[in-house]
A and B are shown apart, each in its own frame.
Chain A
Amino acid sequence: MILKPIPPLLQLNDLGAGYNGRAVLHDVNLTVRANDFIGVIGPNGGGKTTLLKVITGLLSPITGSIIYGPMLANGRRIGYLPQMHQYDRNFPILVRDVVLSGGMGQRRLINPFNRDDRKQALELMAMTGLSQLQNHPIGDLSGGQAQRVFLCRALMNDPALLILDEPANFVDAGFEAELYEILHDLNKKMAIIMVTHDLGIITPYVKTIACVNGDLHYHPSSEITQDLLATYRCPIELITHGTVPHRVLKTHTNP
């Protein structure tokens, strides 16, 4: 029996990207495979969000190429949770309609949703504790609740790759822990790329790390130290927590 190798979900080859012709990112090479959980770290302005914009198709690369594997259906099977963005709080739309809108990428344009889709939206809202709020307009919700709505919207797309940009921003501490458990479960079904500044908390969940600071350094393990970050020229601070209960990670032993 011949085992065919599983093609990667996504491949970035010598990719450069930026705005108005000026590259923020250069020489990025990255392969994303099914069930990856990549934590993306790096300083502000280093190009983390730019990287996500290229992957989601919001920004075209200036140089190099991006290749979507068959699983991603030309980028349509990507779930995207943007950084806490300035949505219009006064826009007349109900929570359940925002969640449903996330499924539009996979469906026909006319009369796109059937009973199963509505059921899926209900299940997602139940999972994130939004059931009571489903018939409220989005403007009624707090920033943290809205973030849950946008997570559900990203998942409505049945993504093979879920992309999260600082998902824990504005989310209350209770849901933050829950969020990482949800992501841990979701990772069994889909690859996840998550931008974060709070590496301390996510380390148990991410499998690999990508440092983005103009270029991209891929670290095929989730164990990192300050020294390692220095060699990657990735000037971020590891966040540790004081009086609140926290997790101490073992120090990186040099090989």
Chain B
Amino acid sequence: MLTDLTQYTFFTNAMEASLLISILCGIAGTWIVARRLVFIAGGITHASFGGIGLGYYLGINPLVGAAAFAVASANAMLFGTRKGNLREDSAIGILWSFGMATGVLFIFLTPGYAPNLMTYLFGSLLTVGSTELNMMWILSAILVTFFVLFYRVILTIAFDENHARAMRLPVELVNYALMTLIALVIVLSIRVSGIILVISFLTIPQSTANLFARSFNHIMLSSVAISLVTSLAGLYLSYWLNVPSGATIIVVMVVVFVIVRILKWIFHS
């Protein structure tokens, strides 16, 4: 029966999207978790809802609006906390709610019904189209290239920003570049996993990987693998049980985390 499913384009697209979101979020999430930026990622995710609303209002692809809002809010957060003496958690709170509020207003002002709005809130792995897949391929290529080429710089700055600055490394440039890439990763992941659930792809596989892998690159690779396996498992499971795929994937991710945690506890005692 499993082989039957792969005859359908929507299902192979969903598998391809699972692979791509695993690569994107596995890598980006490792940096986010290591730097303790999970709630900044949450803020960026919700701020992008304003862009989705704007997209509907202007009649353009909501993902374009989301990308603009996400990149702008990511860099504003970085800038505001560094130069504006704004506390980081307060900055997150402001952008988080501002994005959601503008999203609601734009959708209210848009005449008629906003189709697929739920897709952006909760994601829809099974309706991902080839345009979105192509965009994810391109972003994956950029992200992987960036991390492979600049791995040592990224690691050095992430571990000790002050020391990196003392060594005259381009700390600000790398941080802004990474925040921009993270914002784009979040926007393309929204289509797959939804605003509400993006954060799970950025944190749960990394936390599972961190239970056994102890260096940055091992966590990165393990996160991609765990993310891929759990999202494919969740995808099949959701089909059998006839329940939403995004939510199922997250439940599978958490169950795997708990199992690995228990296994670690057994083997270490």
A residues whose Cβ falls under 8 Å from a Cβ of B: 56-58, 74-76, 78, 80, 82, 85, 87-88, 91-94, 97-98, 100-102, 104-105, 109-113, 136-137, 153, 157
Q: How far is the CB of A211 from chain B (nearest CB, A)?
A: 24
Say whether B210 contacts A104, CB under 8 Å.
Answer: no
Complex alpha-carbon distance, A87 and B162, angstroms: 10
Say whether B150 contacts A157, CB under 8 Å.
Answer: no
Complex alpha-carbon distance, A158 and B153, angstroms: 18
**Chain A residues near B159 (CB-CB < 8 A):** 87-88, 91, 93, 98, 101
**Chain A residues near B169 (CB-CB < 8 A):** 104-105, 109
Q: How far is the CB of B170 from chain A (nearest CB, A)?
A: 8
Say whether B168 contacts A101, CB under 8 Å.
Answer: no
Say whether B166 contacts A104, CB under 8 Å.
Answer: no
**Chain B residues near A153 (CB-CB < 8 A):** 163
Complex alpha-carbon distance, A62 and B219, angstroms: 43
Say whether B152 contacts A91, CB under 8 Å.
Answer: no
Complex alpha-carbon distance, A101 and B170, angstroms: 14
**Chain A residues near B213 (CB-CB < 8 A):** 92
Q: Among the listed A58, A74, A82, A92, which residue makes an inter-chain contact with B210, where contact means beta carbons less than 8 Å apart?
A: A92
* Chain B CB within 10 A, most for which of A91, A92, A100, A157: A92
Say whether B163 contacts A109, CB under 8 Å.
Answer: no
Interface residue B155 (Cβ < 8 Å from any Cβ of A)? yes
Say whether B152 contacts A113, CB under 8 Å.
Answer: yes
B residues whose Cβ falls under 8 Å from a Cβ of A: 30, 34, 36, 149-150, 152-153, 155-156, 158-160, 162-170, 210, 213-216, 218-219
**Chain B residues near A105 (CB-CB < 8 A):** 166-169
* Chain A CB within 10 A, most for which of B167, B215, B218, B219: B167
Say whether B166 contacts A57, CB under 8 Å.
Answer: yes
* Chain A CB within 10 A, most for which of B36, B149, B156, B213: B156
A-B interface, 5 closest residue pairs, ranked by CB to CB distance from nearest: A105-B167, A101-B156, A56-B166, A137-B214, A80-B166
Complex alpha-carbon distance, A57 and B171, angstroms: 13
**Chain B residues near A87 (CB-CB < 8 A):** 159-160
Q: How far is the CB of A121 from chain B (nearest CB, A)?
A: 12
| Interface of chain B, main secondary structure | helix
**Chain B residues near A112 (CB-CB < 8 A):** 152-153
Say whether B216 contacts A57, CB under 8 Å.
Answer: no
| Interface of chain A, main secondary structure | loop
**Chain A residues near B215 (CB-CB < 8 A):** 92-94, 97, 137
Say whether B155 contacts A93, CB under 8 Å.
Answer: yes
Complex alpha-carbon distance, A94 and B158, angstroms: 13
Say whether B153 contacts A57, CB under 8 Å.
Answer: no
Say whether A100 contacts B152, CB under 8 Å.
Answer: yes
**Chain A residues near B36 (CB-CB < 8 A):** 88
**Chain A residues near B160 (CB-CB < 8 A):** 87, 101
5 contacts between A and B (CB under 8 A): A56-B166, A82-B163, A97-B155, A97-B216, A104-B152
Say whether A76 contacts B168, CB under 8 Å.
Answer: yes
Say whether A110 contacts B216, CB under 8 Å.
Answer: no
Say whether A74 contacts B168, CB under 8 Å.
Answer: yes
Complex alpha-carbon distance, A74 and B166, angstroms: 11
Q: How far is the CB of B124 from chain A (nearest CB, A)?
A: 33
Say whether A78 contacts B152, CB under 8 Å.
Answer: no
The residue in chain A whose Cβ has the minimal distance to the Cβ of B150 is A109
Complex alpha-carbon distance, A75 and B168, angstroms: 8
Say whether B167 contacts A157, CB under 8 Å.
Answer: yes
Complex alpha-carbon distance, A92 and B213, angstroms: 8
**Chain B residues near A57 (CB-CB < 8 A):** 165-166, 168
Complex alpha-carbon distance, A104 and B161, angstroms: 13
Q: How far is the CB of B7 from chain A (nearest CB, A)?
A: 41
Q: How far is the CB of B40 from chain A (nearest CB, A)?
A: 16
The residue in chain A whose Cβ has the minimal distance to the Cβ of B36 is A88
Q: How far is the CB of B267 from chain A (nearest CB, A)?
A: 18
Supply 15 further A-B pairs (C-beta < 8 A) apart from A74-B168, A92-B214.
A75-B168, A80-B166, A82-B162, A85-B162, A88-B36, A91-B34, A92-B213, A93-B159, A93-B215, A94-B214, A101-B155, A104-B152, A104-B156, A110-B149, A137-B215
